[in-house]
Amino acid sequence: MNSQHFANTLLRWYPQNKRELPWRNTKEPYIIWLSEIILQQTRVAQGQPFFEAFISRYPDVHRLAEAPIEEVMRLWQGLGYYSRARNLHACAQEIAFNRNGRFPATFGELRKLKGVGNYTAAAIASFAYGQKIAVVDGNVYRVLSRYFGIALDIASSQGQKAFADLANRLIPEASPDEYNQAIMEFGALQCVPKKPDCDICPLLPGCFAQKHRMVEELPVKTKKVRTTQRVFLYFHITAGDKTFIKERGPR
């Protein structure tokens, strides 16, 4: 199956199988940016209620930028990885106060924003501005590694570059944003990490992993565990029926 057939298969599959999510069917960069930050390290089912709460409270980037950081942190409570919330607030202030409320329109400029990495910058550039740039997440790694039989470690710089290069070569000229959504959704719903239903997969005829019985082995990812010894001192200070509490800072 050539690259055009691969892309066309995903584009046919997507409209019939995609989930209806509140951040889809929009070109508004604020909504796309907010959803991508919330969904970092977070499953859609867990992140969606937080997204809806944020959009209800802060319908535009100006409202978010003007909100006290303490309020933003409280609304974020339960999502974890709290540096994301601090970066979210700082980025909103940059956009609102220094860029007249407008998000940059190119990958390079988006990448300079606080808390915006390659994936998020590519997502905004593709979904908001229709740019032909690959959005490579864990789902995309899985689909590409299984279909094309790529055994490079996705945690290595070599592997990440190889996957990004391939992903960008596969994007069709027409509807690059739709294609990015399609391959990500395909990985989330069809080409799932454990025991995918390959019998109903539209990519089955050309899938390397299925042909060579390597579905469970791909993608390859080494786990580097770092251990750090840390010491914490806690003081529980009371005076009568009062308890003293000091809020922890960013560090």
Q: Is the predicted pLDDT of residue 25 greater than 90, yes or no?
A: no
13, 55, 57, 226, 231 from 119: Cα distances, Å: 23, 22, 26, 24, 34
- Residues marked active site are found at 36
> What is this structure's pTM?
0.88
pLDDT of 249 higher than 80: no
pLDDT one-digit tens code per residue, 110-151: 999 999 999 999 999 999 999 999 999 999 999 999 999 999
**What are the tens digits of pLDDT across the range 64-103?**
999 999 999 999 999 999 999 999 999 999 999 999 999 9
